[in-house]
Structure 1
């Protein structure tokens, strides 16, 4: 097959397709979609959980043999076929058309109380929705979706302008927090914790599993947004350079964001450590009539050793707290816990905390906004490509319907048990489905469409054939790694009881979280969230098989020479 012949067919069918204003706008959109909340709160959490710098080792290995190859593949097929996710996979093989369908105050800290009781009004159980929808959260949700709709009214043609702000503003805020964070007392403790690798954790399978899954969240692979974005590129565009550029910027952002985050967490841990010491110093001074100022944070250990040697019976009766800076640094928080509790506890200790809070949460909002641009586009583009709606329905109306349906589904997160449902959707609605989708992406392109056909198209677009690195990762290493990660993930989850942590003031050990097991009906929903995005893959393949069996198999509306259609 001649590369020119293949791509001329694509150009002929797609020559009227809209394009990005410029290359910088396209790269910014890809970076904005890939760089999201996972870079700010998920990556630092894993670094904190798995021995600081030690997590970087499996992370970069997974990036090289899994993340970059898949990113290049998604950008390439979108640019080559110039369609959204569903149209791309139907063009590669009708059997793969289903891939695109994935898509209380005195006992707790003031920050904990405000977050769980005042903001979320959280229930003590996932089955309890309290007073129903929380009106303040509903209003915030309405405002968020209205802003999002105004930005994506006409798809990439409208949010392409907004992306200049939403993709760059987070870096501005992170830079401010970096400078401020490094000047805070105890910041160095957090940075030392970040860069000091605890290599023993690398023997744990879970570390490698979480690193591989983090790559999907970090690069937004498998969602379809990157395919949609690249479909608006010119055919003569070096998607290989684009893939490496986006991957490098994304990983740099994760590490760059970790520096101010760990500076703030080091500050928070140091403040908590000093508070602990001050409480113990007060107890010791009162018990042994020691003059104020004699026991300080600097000589505390010496005083404890002296009193243990001379007044052991009396000191053992005191309710002294165990003050260990390392324990405070080890107290990790992920997701909303990192953003709305751990980071907030650090902000409230800073001068003029209101300014820092506004900057921080505005940064989180713009991160989520730029990621949602890609999610909306991953739905809108296939609808337009497949002409699901009649031509007289304007694009603005289709976008409005997508936003409205998404808003209605999101209302479950505004109930008293919404935070528990958010954790379920985050864990079960993304990780396993993305692994499955990415696996079939690789299998579909390299073995069904054919690696030689794919490389012919890349040669036409970039001017050179992919080297041995791309061949080996696409054909062998990446599919094998995805399969191993999938099996390991399922095996680990099956060995554990499905449980969640609740905020329950009636719990005997409150403010410690109470761990509860999911009810049977909740487990069913968890399984449903895993199955729903992936069930279209076998169903579509079965439909096409039956259709071809009865003589209805035909090529998908373009002159692409695709041997997969001969199945």
Structure 2
């Protein structure tokens, strides 16, 4: 994001068109903060209630700071370090700090990209390697380690990372992941090899393809049973959470994550614009599209969470139904998911002691929906990485 200050601003290259510039800003801003952290915060803070402090922070914090970064880069036509040095030589450290943060974030994102490439190459196998547990050495069953967890977790922790039992054991390098990481850096190098000339061409794919993938996820998620349960959980606000000051603090923090403010990248991108460009309109477009993407990405995630919660709820009921069927010698299919509570009430009225002796589970759909929020901390990482 830095640029030497010795070159004349008039000699600085310009974007081929406005679309390239806007797509670059949108592609830079939209990331894990939108498709992972935002749905997670919505789940933690009562669904739709989090949207209120988030939108307030967007209007009074996000858009003004976004406008400031675009305006200062466009006016001075320099990168982050050059801009802050022009304002005051004492502020050069601010530009250096933003460049350092961008570098560290780049290391983090390229590691995720390496994982995505690893999964992408393995996705051409049939069946998928994370679909079933591998068989043991005697071919008498599945590996015990995998059976105690899931096939997805086993492929991630054992086949992908080959994780060690504890942090004190370093383990061996995973050379195929090293190759994927080197490939990720090569992709970045190719996109940046000729500055905005190559960025402007690549951005047509890199900025629009995630929306295509997101739409595919959306259509698939909305067809799952229980999707409406998750969507109601997303858009039904829990007003009590607004009394918690942490909600407002996390909303203000999310704006920085969401818009990628203070990284210096937006300053650098806007420096390739003419000085008479309408940066106020650009800030409004980028900010609104970015926030709309956060909400758009939350819909398939919460639809999947609703499906997962309903599946767990039905499994809980089926377990209770099996106990009742075996205990009272009730014919199969006599107790169904639809009439379970009515039949349980009848049996409890007729045989209260026998029913009380059973270890029936308490099946609460709302409680199960709250429990599956843990998925936003673990398994959603791969989904978000694909979108990036």
Shift of 1:314: 3.2
SS of the counterpart of 1:332? helix
Q: 1:108 to 1:301 in 2, by over 3 A?
A: farther
Q: 1:153 to 1:314 in 2, by over 3 A?
A: farther
Q: 1:144 to 1:170 in 2, by over 3 A?
A: same
**1:48 match:** 43
Structure 1 regions of 5+ residues with no counterpart?
A: 1-9, 342-359, 368-567
Shift of 1:160: 1.4
Q: 1:294 to 1:41 in 2, by over 3 A?
A: same
Q: Among residues 6, 18, 21, which one is paired with 2:16 in the alignment?
A: 21
Cα distance per residue 1:345-390 (max 9 Å; x no partner): xxxxxxxxxxxxxxx57xx3462xxxxxxxxxxxxxxxxxxxxxxx
Query: Could you tell me whether the CA contact under 8 Å between 1:41 and 1:334 is conserved in 2?
Result: no
**CA RMSD between the two structures:** 2.1
2:107 paired with 1:67: no
Q: What is the correspondence of 1:100-119 to structure 2 with a 5 Å cutoff? A: 100-102=95-97, 103=101, 104-119=145-160
Q: 1:115 to 1:221 in 2, by over 3 A?
A: same
Shift of 1:202: 1.0
Structure 1 residues 246-255 or 140-149, which shifts more?
140-149
**2:300 match:** 260
**2:236 match:** 196
SS of the counterpart of 2:194? coil
Shift of 1:336: 5.9
Structure-1-length-normalised TM-score: 0.56
Cα distance per residue 1:504-527 (max 9 Å; x no partner): xxxxxxxxxxxxxxxxxxxxxxxx
SS of the counterpart of 1:185? coil
CA distance in 2, matches of 1:326, 1:112: 26
**1:86 match:** 81
Structure 1 residues 151-160 or 235-244, which shifts more?
151-160
Query: Could you tell me whether the CA contact under 8 Å between 1:42 and 1:334 is conserved in 2?
Result: no
Query: Could you tell me whether the CA contact under 8 Å between 2:79 and 2:268 is conserved in 1?
Result: yes
CA distance in 1, matches of 2:304, 2:239: 24
Shift of 1:285: 1.2
Cα distance per residue 1:68-123 (max 9 Å; x no partner): 11100111111111111111101001111101122243333333333333333334
2:195 paired with 1:164: no
**1:212 match:** 252
Q: 1:293 to 1:335 in 2, by over 3 A?
A: closer
Query: Could you tell me whether the CA contact under 8 Å between 1:166 and 1:366 is conserved in 2?
Result: no
Cα distance per residue 1:237-275 (max 9 Å; x no partner): 011111111000001111111112211221122122212
SS of the counterpart of 2:316? helix
Shift of 1:304: 2.6
Shift of 1:280: 2.1
SS of the counterpart of 2:374? coil
CA distance in 2, matches of 1:311, 1:119: 53
SS of the counterpart of 1:54? helix
Shift of 1:338: 4.2
**1:496 match:** none
Shift of 1:334: 6.5
Structure 1 residues 279-288 or 207-216, which shifts more?
279-288
Shift of 1:30: 0.1
Question: When the two structures are aligned, how many residues end up with a matched partner?
Answer: 336
Q: Among residues 288, 313, 318, which one is paired with 1:278 in the alignment?
A: 318
2:182 paired with 1:142: yes
Shift of 1:137: 2.6
Structure-2-length-normalised TM-score: 0.81
SS of the counterpart of 1:307? helix
CA distance in 2, matches of 1:132, 1:311: 61
Q: What is the correspondence of 1:208-247 to structure 2 with a 5 Å cutoff? A: 208-247=248-287
CA distance in 2, matches of 1:40, 1:366: 8
Q: 1:136 to 1:290 in 2, by over 3 A?
A: farther
Q: 1:202 to 1:125 in 2, by over 3 A?
A: farther
Q: What is the correspondence of 1:286-435 to structure 2 with a 5 Å cutoff? A: 286-330=326-370, 331-333=372-374, 337-340=378-381, 364-365=385-386, 367=388
CA distance in 2, matches of 1:60, 1:51: 15
Shift of 1:140: 2.3
Q: 1:139 to 1:327 in 2, by over 3 A?
A: farther
SS of the counterpart of 2:146? coil
